Amino acid sequence: MSLLAIAALAGGARADGDKTFNSRVAYAPLVHKLEASGGDVGRILHPRSRDELAALAAGKRYKFVVTTDGKLAIAPLPADAEHNEYVHPVLAGGAAVLTAGGITVERRDGTITRVTLDEDSKSYCPTLDSLAAAERALARLGVPAASITRRSQPPRCEPVQGGR
- Give the model's pLDDT for residue 16: 56
**pLDDT for 25-67, tens place per residue?**
999 999 999 999 999 999 999 999 999 999 999 999 999 999 9
Nearest to 115 by CA among 97, 142, 89: 142
- Would you state the pLDDT for residue 162? 58
CA atoms of 156 and 36, how far apart (whole Å): 26
Query: What pLDDT is recorded for position 80?
Result: 97
pLDDT at 86: 98
Element (H, E) at 36: helix 27-36
Give the per-residue pLDDT at 45.
Answer: 98
Helix (H, G, I), strand (E, B) or coil at 83: coil
- Contact residues for 95 (Cβ-Cβ < 8 A; gap 6+): 23, 67, 68
pLDDT recorded at residue 15: 63
Q: Could you say which residues of the chain have pLDDT below 70?
A: 1-17, 162-164
State residue 74's pLDDT score.
Answer: 98
